[in-house]
Amino acid sequence: MTIRQREVKRDRLYTEGDADLKHIRDKCITTIGYGSQGHAQALNLRDSGLNVIVGNREDRFAAEARADGFDVMPIVQAVKRADVILFLIPDEVQAAVYSEVEPYLREGQVLDFASGYSVHFGLIRPLPFLDVVLTVPTCRGTVLRERIQRGQGVFGHFGVYQDYSGKAGDIAMALAKGMGLLKFGCTECSFGQEVVVNLFAESAGLGAIPQYLLTAYEVLIEAGFSAEAAYAETFYELQFFVENLVKERLANSRQGSSTSTYLILSKTGEVVDDHVRDNMRRMLGRIQSGELVREWNLEQMAGAPMLHQRKRALAEHEIKDVEDVFLERKKASGW
């Protein structure tokens, strides 16, 4: 493992005392969308005593929001009614939905995103008379909701892209507080920083783990080991490995026996070597230049053939047979 010393930038961590809900208390907040982030943020904000409505097309998400007690209406109507608009629909459809609602936006409204994607990459160019802010939990919506219900926090970011009112920063922090993000703590960042780091983590960081483990699994299978042995030591054990890792500092985390600790600390670097570092740097460059987002846009315009093909290949991978065995045993043993 190569650890190079260099100057490391640090961010301030904002917590509950730094924000005040008064900046949004009298405002009508609408989510656009009631999916992963939409449902979690709407429920958390309402639990914080804020006035929340939901804008959604008339379908199962609208029905869920209604069942959760929200006033649900078509997206344009919600945008007309609200002071603060949380854009909580998938990144790839945000630009089209923004074009539909733009004629109804009025001076002084707040547009809040849960990712810097659309604004940073120029897919949405917000009108100049809006506050445009970012509040991002670093987890799926279900996790955000569950943790806040248990009184726990979630790390997040907030940021300002456009400060028309002069209060956009206060409003972003108040939203973060209302969602429960300041219970743990939030850093302030630009839309660009948020989305670049996030896309990098998905393509080269955390998101690379399934592919990494699948490669390890396949190498064991090629060498003639059983699917059960290979699966147990890669995917099955991941949960215990991660549980230990997140409890401790990296330097203290003891991954099993002293032999395994020795191997992890002295041999893993032979696999995750400078080629991997170079690949990661290349990936970061492609994200920063916008190449990856352009590629994803073209893929969507073509009906996502590559994505469908990759999903099919994974669904047909022979690992599914041993996955079935382990999933069945998990169920049977009351996992």
Ligand X SMILES: NC(=O)c1ccc[n+]([C@@H]2O[C@H](COP(=O)([O-])OP(=O)(O)OC[C@H]3O[C@@H](n4cnc5c(N)ncnc54)[C@H](OP(=O)(O)O)[C@@H]3O)[C@@H](O)[C@H]2O)c1
Contacts to ligand X by CB under 6 A:
33-38, 56-57, 59, 61, 88-91, 93, 97, 114-115, 117, 136-137, 140-141
Q: Is the Cβ of residue 57 or residue 294 nearer to ligand X in the bound state?
A: 57
Cross-sheet strand order for the sheet of 84-87: 72-73, 51-55, 28-32, 84-87, 110-113, 131-137, 155-162, 185-188
Q: Is the Cβ of residue 50 or residue 78 nearer to ligand X in the bound state?
A: 78
Minimum distance from residue 11 beta carbon to ligand X (Å) = 18
Q: For residues 136 and 179, is the Cβ–Cβ distance under 8 A?
A: no
Q: For residues 86 and 105, is the Cβ–Cβ distance under 8 A?
A: no
Which residue of the chain is nearest ligand X when measured via CB? Answer: 35
Q: Residue 189 is which amino acid? A: C
Question: For residue 50, what are the contacts with CB-CB under 8 A and spacing of at least 6?
Answer: 21, 24, 25, 27, 29, 178
Q: Is the Cβ of residue 141 or residue 180 nearer to ligand X in the bound state?
A: 141
Q: Is the Cβ of residue 141 or residue 230 nearer to ligand X in the bound state?
A: 141
Minimum distance from residue 243 beta carbon to ligand X (Å) = 20
Phi, psi for 188 (deg, rounded to 5): -95, 135
Minimum distance from residue 3 beta carbon to ligand X (Å) = 29
In angstroms, how far apart are the furthest CA atoms of the chain?
A: 67
Helices (H), the chain: 36-47, 60-67, 75-81, 91-101, 117-120, 141-149, 168-179, 191-203, 209-222, 227-231, 237-247, 258-271, 274-288, 291-301, 305-316, 319-332
Q: Is the Cβ of residue 93 or residue 229 nearer to ligand X in the bound state?
A: 93
Minimum distance from residue 235 beta carbon to ligand X (Å) = 21
Phi-psi region of 185 (alpha: psi -120 to 50; beta: other; left: phi over 0): left
Minimum distance from residue 286 beta carbon to ligand X (Å) = 19
Q: Is the Cβ of residue 136 or residue 186 nearer to ligand X in the bound state?
A: 136
Q: Is the Cβ of residue 91 or residue 170 nearer to ligand X in the bound state?
A: 91
Minimum distance from residue 32 beta carbon to ligand X (Å) = 7
Minimum distance from residue 106 beta carbon to ligand X (Å) = 21
